[in-house]
Amino acid sequence: MSFALTRRRAATALVSAVLLLPLAACGGNDDGTDESAPSASPADPSASAAPEADLTVLAASSLTDVFKTAGAAYEKENPGTKVTFSFAGSQELAAQVEQGAPADALVTADTKTMDGLKDDTGTPAIIAKNRLVIATTEGNPEKIENLKDLADPKLKVVLAASEVPVGRYSRQVLEAQSITVKPVSEEPNVRAVLSKVELGEADAGIVYKTDADSAPDKVDAVEIPDAQNAIAEYPAATLKTSEHSAAAAAFVTWLSGPEAQKILQDAGFQQP
């Protein structure tokens, strides 16, 4: 073999080695994973689907109807995932979290309750807002027109307890107008207030607009002017004790997405 041929073969081998170096660098990561392996495209439905899990979500009572619809939509969009809701007053939900109740996510009807659980939750996001109305028995036989009318001692008015978000909001708007109301009962959540009015056990009660809207054939709703009203904010967060943290995070994120927002707004909730 000639010396020239040997030099040409050596040069060819050197060039090939140099060309292969960038390919080797692109073929893997420091952690040993292979970036050249096929990966799911963002457009691939399986890439965006939430991890399969049985989720338990603690949610404020005022979300009862809308979350049943939202949960069904989420399960349809994410086969293999089941969402079970536990509804109660926000203060009751907080107590459950503090006692270590097994759950994956939490949605309250106020930021104060959620803020008190910051050591137990991920970062919360506001998913909806709500406002107050006066619910009266069907047909409004007592002709209640405004907040001042609730001060009439002849009326049977029911409010949520002061530790319940809607009860706190109710007292806030009444005190701002210097109106004194002596409720015949103080209820543990907004649905209990609504039920008292539906059953005729009270002439009126202060509830969220969406709750009054859920029973159009049983109660009438008297609007409270914006200047006298209070806005409720609904934060949602994952729970740090969740055994399905990725699936819980996916659900909480979905609540801020377009499909869930349409469901919430169709039910009368305001945009976050």
- Res 49: pLDDT: 67
Fold equal for 50-129+232-266 and 130-231:
yes
Low-confidence stretches of the chain (pLDDT < 70) are 1-49
Nearest 5°: phi and psi at 61? -55, -35
How far is residue 256's CA from residue 128's CA, in Å, rounded to a whole number? Answer: 9
The burial of 188, by beta-carbon neighbours within 10 Å (0-12 exposed, 13-18 middle, 19 or more buried), is given as: middle
- Res 149: pLDDT: 98
What are the structural domain ranges in the chain? 50-129+232-266, 130-231
- Which architecture does CATH list for 50-129+232-266? 3-Layer(aba) Sandwich (3.40)
The CATH fold of domain 130-231: D-Maltodextrin-Binding Protein; domain 2 (3.40.190)
The pLDDT tens digits of the residues spanning 134-162 come to: 999 999 999 999 999 999 999 999 999 99
How far is residue 141's CA from residue 261's CA, in Å, rounded to a whole number? Answer: 36
- Res 51: pLDDT: 85
CB 219 within 8 A of CB 235: no
The pLDDT tens digits of the residues spanning 91-104 come to: 999 999 999 999 99
- Res 24: pLDDT: 37
pTM above 0.95, yes or no: no
- Res 227: pLDDT: 97
- Res 172: pLDDT: 97
